Structure 1
Amino acid sequence: MEIVSRNLNEYLKHLYRSIIFWTVAMILFSIFRYYALDEEIGITIKSVYNSFYSNHKTIFSYGFGGFLVGILYATIEFYFDKFVSRRIIPLGVNILIQGILIFISIIVISYLVTRLTISINNIPFNLSPYWWYQDQSFWPLLLYVLFSSYIFSMFIIISEKFGKGVFFKMLIGKYKYPKEEERIFLFLDLKSSTTIAEILGHFKYSQLIQDCFYDLNEVAPKYQAEIYQYIGDEAVMCWPYKQGISGNNCVNLFFAFKQKIHSKKSFYMKKYGIVPEFKAGIHGGVLMVAEVGVIKKELAYHGDVINTAARIQEQCNVHDVSILISEKLLSDLSIAQYYTPKFMGTVLLKGKEKEINIHTLYPEKEILETTKTNVSSIMFLFI
């Protein structure tokens, strides 16, 4: 039920942005092409067509067509994202196939909308099945739609490249000058990466990292996480502070990702002979954000918070745990019903002058399962 709900929410997100874009795009086309057409010098419209070319009816017809295109485009986009793996089909081929489907869809939708318009306005026009091929006025519309589709695809790709909401913030120049923000960072790193790389070889190892991060990308949106960077076998996630502690997003993401990997252990065992495990360090606080670079522009975070989070993660190997979190951040979370914290000590992190308290977390379910296992072992000994 949870998977269905998640898929529905994801589809509605595709649908929302697609309907808005295509409705606006088609309304703009109707304005460019037909607005005040009868006012142009040398153009006369027969009285029988006047009702169709009245501004409000034309705009409505094209707006309705854009609404239908938006639904269709969102459905195609969602299907490709969900069921046609991006890991198999190259991005260019993916866009080309979607373009062909859009082309066919536009013909069908244009036929339906034109028939509706002819019927409503009682226009004496014979619409044959191949009218789109013969009618030269259809080709500008088709080129406009295909170009708009390309622009929309590029916008989505750029948004995914920069991360959720980041592209818009850069457009309006929010981080043109360094700005102070309170954020939470999660450093996620593959356990025993050197050993795994030696066993698998560099090609198979790279495939493993691809698959792991693909699974991470499926989990991250549910917990409103922004993917800041991929560094080798390490991923850096971040949240605005309030968003990260809301619903324990910053912690839940790690355990959801861990569960995702576990649910696919047969896939990983069959393909790589191992089930990957990750370790995480989480910390939050105030730091600076700024746009950097010109050729490859991106947002960069500077400050003590991001360095501390990275060094907390390094302590996972020392304490042999999968997750460590700073005491300051832990105190702001509401974890009593879901996790049991365990104090791991006070450590002086490399390059720091002040000691910091760190804790690990155990999900309640995991503790119960461990307890059951221990009880079963004791009973077996007595038997």
Structure 2
Amino acid sequence: MNSYVVQFLRLLLLTIVFWIIAFCIFIFIRYFAIGSEEGVIVTTYHISDILYFGVVLGTLIGVIFTITEFLFDKFLSKNLSLALVLTEKFIIYLLSIILSLNYVYPLVEEALNLNISNEDGWWKESRHFWLLVGYFLVCSIIFSFIKIANEKFGSGVFFNFLIGKYRNPKEEKRIFMFLDLQASTTIAEQIGHYRYSELIQDCFYDLNRIVSKYNADIYQYVGDEAVLSWKYKTGIKKNNCVELFFHFKSRIERKQKRYLKKYGLVPKFKAGIHGGELIVTEVGSIKKEIAYHGDVINTCARIQGECNKYDETLLCSNALMQDLNLTNKFKTKYIGDLELKGKEETLKISAIKLN
């Protein structure tokens, strides 16, 4: 399935669930108050009504919210200022909630036998509407905060911060990939530092479009290098840690006309992959982040550093390759033993290519 479709469906599910819960809570709180304000004493608690209206309104808003967020994130935000994006989103959400309530209010009036104003333009003078708009904006801010935090820290990392999972160091088994632009110094000299920065920005933008498909976390960006990470089982599942590299490579190649027109070149990347046990912990009180400590990091960087020496684009430790299920789609070539700094033992590495 197309990665955009998968990302959209995942966002759609999470968004609809969020807004259904949010509106069910709102309707529950307002259930008795509306009846009292309209001159009707509500003595029976109808959980089915609350769930029904919460599901209807939550689904309507969730679908609109998802489409808007997805289109802006994938196709518009890169070229628009944050202020303009927020303004345009607010207008869309305001119109959508007016249209949605025009559909839902008559259902509420009939089900609860209330005389709720719902004629044309009712929302201008309705306290209920503006109260709901205020609630909607608060929920939108909460949703956006969670979404931005997830994008900033990586999927699931923000939740781990909240629960303090890595407050104390923990040992985990993970896979890392060091992804680096080839001939970066030469390219910077050819096109200048400003356009070089734009090139890196475009490349990593293309990378970001596919990381969720392969369940990868972006640990950090260091200049023209990106460091990606997977939980060990996630990384070897369906060869995610290998498939991501070749998908990224093919994505760049498919857009080569755009890169040639803008920069006069097609960027090429090299990568090293390795996995194993390491320590995960929170570091810092200002600009707090999750840090990984252990030989896996240093070894993976060393493996990537060997790519130029052997004229290969993807090198992988044999220890990790043994756990991968590489099909006939790939071909491997044994490279040799990599000497590890400060250690007597060596690490066997191999190159991976597409057949």
Of the three residues 61, 67, 70, the one matched with 2:53 is 61
User: Cα–Cα, structure 1 residues 321 and 17, in superposed 2: closer, same or farther, change >3 Å?
Assistant: same
Query: Given the two structures, how large is their TM-score scaled by the length of structure 1?
Result: 0.87
| Residue of structure 1 equivalent to 2:345 | 354
**Matched residue of 1:8: which SS?**
helix
Q: How does 1:336-375 map to 2 (within 5 A)?
A: 336-364=327-355
- RMSD of equivalent CA atoms: 2.1
Q: CA deviation at 1:33?
A: 2.9
CA deviation after TM superposition for structure 1 residue 137, in Å: 2.6
Candidates 5, 16, 19, aligned match of 2:16:
19
Q: Which runs of 5+ in 1 are unaligned?
A: 365-383
1:61 is displaced (CA, Å) by: 2.4
Aligned counterpart, 2:5: 8
Number of the residue aligned with 2:79: 88
Name 1:138's counterpart in structure 2.
129
Q: Which amino acid aligns with 2:319?
A: K
Is the 8 Å Cα contact of residues 38 and 114 (structure 2) preserved in structure 1?
no
Distance 1:44 1:345, change over 3 A: closer
2:13 maps to a residue whose letter is: Y
1:70 and 2:62 are equivalent in the alignment: yes
User: How do 1:314-333 residues align onto structure 2 when only pairs under 5 Å count?
Assistant: 314-333=305-324
- Give, in whole Å, the separation in 2 of the partners of 1:362 and 1:215: 21
Q: Any residues of structure 2 matched to 1:1-383 within 5 Å, and which?
A: 2-3=1-2, 6-35=3-32, 46-47=39-40, 50=42, 57-58=49-50, 60-84=52-76, 86-125=77-116, 127-364=118-355
Cα 1:139–1:345 shift into 2, 3 Å: same
Q: Is 69-78 or 207-216 further displaced after alignment? A: 69-78
Q: C-alpha displacement at 1:45, in angstroms?
A: 5.8
Equivalent position SS for 1:117: helix
- Alpha-carbon separation, structure 2, partners of 1:52 and 1:117: 15
The DSSP-based 3-state class of the residue aligned with 2:18 is helix
Answer yes or no: is the 8 Å Cα contact 1:215–1:257 preserved in 2.
yes
CA positional deviation for 1:67: 2.4
Q: CA deviation at 1:58?
A: 4.7
Deviation at 1:12, TM superposition (A): 1.2
Structure 2 residue runs of 5 or longer lacking an equivalent are: none
Partner residue, 1:381:
none
The alpha-carbon deviation at position 121 of structure 1 amounts to: 4.4
- Tell me the TM-score normalized by structure 2: 0.94
Deviation at 1:240, TM superposition (A): 0.9
In the alignment, is the contact (CA less than 8 A) between 1:312 and 1:349 conserved in 2? no
Deviations 1:227-274 (A, max 9, x none): 101000000011111111111111111111100100000000000000
User: 1:330 is aligned with what amino acid?
Assistant: M
CA contact (8 A) 1:99 1:149 kept: no
| CA distance in structure 2 between the aligned counterparts of 1:275 and 1:269, rounded to whole angstroms | 6
Distance in 2 (alpha carbons) for counterparts of 1:274 and 1:44 = 68
CA drift of 1:10 comes to 1.7
Q: Report if the CA contact (8 A) 2:7-2:212 is conserved.
A: no
Q: How far apart, CA to CA, are the structure 2 residues paired with 1:125 and 1:344?
A: 76
Name whichever of 160-169 and 110-119 sits farther off. Answer: 110-119
Secondary structure at 1:332's aligned position in 2? coil
Distance 1:344 1:124 in 2: 79
Take 2:339 and 2:150, find their aligned partners in 1: how far apart are those partners?
A: 39
Q: Tell me the alpha carbon deviations over residues 77-112 of structure 1, each in whole angstroms, 9 at most, x when there is no partner.
A: 12222332x221133432332122111111111111
Q: By how many angstroms is 1:125 displaced?
A: 4.8
CA 1:333–1:354: 2 relative to 1, 3 Å: same
Q: 1:198 Cα deviation (Å)?
A: 0.9
Q: Percent identity?
A: 46
Rounded to whole Å, the distance in 2 between the matches of 1:56 and 1:362 is: 57
Larger radius of gyration: 1
Q: Give the residue type in structure 1 aligned to 2:183.
A: S
Greater Cα shift, 229-238 or 125-134: 125-134
C-alpha spacing 1:36/1:265, structure 2 compared with 1 (3 Å): same
Q: Quick one: distance in 2 between partners of 1:10 and 1:331?
A: 30
Contact 2:281–2:290 (CA<8 Å) still a contact in 1?
yes
Q: Do the aligned residues in 2 keep the contact of 1:35 with 1:55 (CA within 8 Å)? A: no
Letter of the 1:180 counterpart: E
Contact 2:32 2:42 (8 Å CA) reproduced: no
CA distance in 1, matches of 2:210, 2:92: 29
